[in-house]
Structure 1
Amino acid sequence: MLNIFRAKRQFQDLEWMHVDMHSHLLPGIDDGASSLDDSLHLLEQLQDLGLRKFFFTPHVFREMYPNTQDTIQEAFQQIASSASADAVGGFAAEYMVDNYFDRLLQTQKPLAYLPDHHVLIEMSYMQESAMIEKIIFDLQMQGYKPILAHPERYVFYHGKTDRIEHLRNLGCLLQLNLLSLYGYYGSKEKQVARLLCEKGLIDLVGSDVHHRRHIKAIEHGLTKEDLWPYFKRCRLKNQELFSETYA
C-alpha cells in the first residue's frame, strides 16, 4: 500500500549500486531480520530503493553468532524459495577476524564466500586485530579474495587512513556502508567515509541493512542528498564482480 506520508525523494535512488553484496536479511540467524516475513519485507523495501540483486552475509562470530555453512544455507533456502529469483544472488558470510576464524582457516574447510571466492571479513570496532594481515595473507594463499567490511567504522583507523590504504595494497578490497556517508554511525565515521571516497579507495558499497531503522535512514537520506557523486573517484565493482547469480 502506498504510504502517503512517506517523504518524497528529492534525489535519485540506489539503482546505480544495483547489487547489494552486504546485508543481514536472512531470517533468525544473527542480529538482522528476525523472521521470514521480516526478511521479505526488508527485501521489498530495498528493491523499492532501486537495488536489484542481493547477497546475504550473516555474521559468523563464535561468541555471539556461531553460524556454519549449514545454518546459513538453511536460512537462505527460506528466502530463496519465497523471493523473486532475479533478486536472490546467493549467500556468504561476514567473518569476524579472531582466533576462531584463524583456526577455521587452518582446517581449510570451505568458507561461505561471495562469487569468485570473495570473502567478507570484519573486526571489532574498538581494536584492530593483531592477526589482520596474517588473515589476509592466509585467505589469499587458499585462493580467497578478502574484502574488509566498513573500514570507516573502526575507531582505531580514524585519523589513520594510511593504515586502511595499506590493507588495500595487500590485496584486500574495501567495502563502505551507505549509511556512513549520511553520518548514521557518527560524525567521525562520516568524515572517514568521505575521505576514503575522495581518495578513490572504495571498491564496493553495501547497505549492511539489519532492520527497518536502517532502511528508514536511507530513505530519509535520499530526501536530502544523492550519494552517487561521492563515488565518482572510485571504481566500484558491485556489478562487475557480483552481477551473476551464485548460490
Structure 2
Amino acid sequence: MFSFFAKKYFFVDLLEGFTDFHNHILPGIDDGSPDVETSLQLIKKFGEFGVTSFVHTPHVMNDYYPNTPETINNALAELQAAQPANIKNTAAAEYMMDQSLMDKLDDEKLLKISGNFSLVEMSFLQPPINLKEIIFSLQNKGHVLILAHPERYGFFHDGKMRKYYDLKSRGCYFQLNMLSLTSHYGEGIQKMAFKLLENQMIDYISSDTHRMEHLEKLQNIKLKTKEIEMLKPIVEKSKELFA
C-alpha cells in the first residue's frame, strides 16, 4: 500500500496482477535461467510482487541462440511440468532484427506475445543497415512491433531523439526495461529512460529478467511520486495486453 506521507514509493507495488512479457526464465536455451530449478526460483520471487503470469521471450539470435518454436515450446513444457498450479505462462520470443530473421519470415511462423504483437530487438553495437526494410517486412507479415529496451541503444541517444521519433512514426511501440529506472545499465541509459518517459514515448514496460540479481534490484526500486504517476498508465497499458 502507498503511504501519503512517504517521499518515495516501491515500484513493485504497481505490479499486482501484471503479466511479465519480456524475460529469460525458460530453462537452458539462452543467457537466462540455466535450469528448471533456477526458473522456479525466479517465478517464486516474482510471486512476492504479485506477478504469477508470464510470456517467456528467449532470445532468437542466429549466431548465438538459434531458437525455434520447437526449442522454445519444449523448454516451456519442461517448466510447466514442474511449476506450481497457480502460474500462468506462455512462450514467445525476443527476435533479433537481422538478416537471419528476414530469412525466417517465409518459412517459420514467428511467436507473438499477444494478438499480433511481436517483441524485437537490435544489437547494442549498431542498428541493422536495413532496419527500415526489416520493419516494413515484418509489418507486411502482420506483426505489430514492440521494440525491446529502446533506452539501451546508445547509438540513438542524441539531444533531439530524432531516431526515436522516426521509429515511432513507423509504427513501432517502445517497451522500457524496469531496471532502466535505475543505473543498472549505466547512468546514461537511466537518463534516457526518464527522457523517453517524460516525452510520452514509452508504451509498455517489462522486466527483461535474466537472473535473481535482477529481481533483487527490482524489488528495491524506489521512485518519487511524480515518477510513479508517470509510470502507472504504462503499467496499466501493459496489463491490458493480456486482459
| TM-score (ref. length: structure 1) | 0.87
Deviations along 1:170-202, one digit per CA (max 9) or x if unpaired, are 111110000001111001100110011111111
Aligned to 2:221, what secondary structure does the other structure show?
Answer: helix
Q: What residue number does 2:206 align with?
A: 206
Between 59-68 and 123-132, the greater mean CA deviation after superposition: 123-132
Structure 2 residue aligned with 1:121: 120
Instruction: Tell me which residue corresponds to 2:50.
Output: 50
Question: Whole-Å Cα distance in 2 between the matches of residues 194 and 50 of structure 1?
Answer: 25
Unmatched segments (≥5 aa) in structure 2: 1-7
* Counterpart Cα distance in 2 of 1:225 and 1:32: 31
CA distance in 1, matches of 2:17, 2:27: 24
Equivalenced residue count is: 233
State the partner residue of 1:28. Answer: 28
Q: Distance in 2 between matches of 1:87 and 1:93?
A: 19
Partner of 1:38: 38
Q: Note if contact 2:119-2:148 (Cα within 8 Å) is conserved in structure 1.
A: yes
Is the CA contact 1:11–1:225 (under 8 Å) kept in the aligned structure 2?
Answer: no
Report what 1:76 is aligned to.
76
Secondary structure of the residue aligned to 1:33 is coil
- 2:169 counterpart residue number: 169
Report the alpha carbon displacement of residue 134 of structure 1 after superposing the two structures with TM: 1.5
Name the SS of the counterpart of 1:242 in structure 2: coil
Cα deviation per residue 1:64-120 (whole Å; 9 max; x = unaligned)? 101011000000111222324553231100011111111112x24210111112111
CA contact (8 A) 1:121 1:146 kept: yes
Aligned positions of 1:92-171 closer than 5 A: 92-105=92-105, 107-159=106-158, 161-171=161-171
Paired amino acid for 1:136: I
State the 1:237 CA deviation: 2.4
- Contact 2:56–2:90 (CA under 8 A) maintained in structure 1: yes
**In 2, distance between residues paired with 1:225 and 1:75?**
39
Asked whether the equivalents of residues 175 and 202 of structure 1 are also in contact (C-alpha less than 8 Å), the reply is: yes
Q: CA deviation at 1:59?
A: 0.2
Change (3 A) 1:16 1:170: farther
CA positional deviation for 1:229: 2.9
CA distance in 1, matches of 2:228, 2:242: 19
Q: Distance in 2 between matches of 1:212 and 1:154?
A: 24
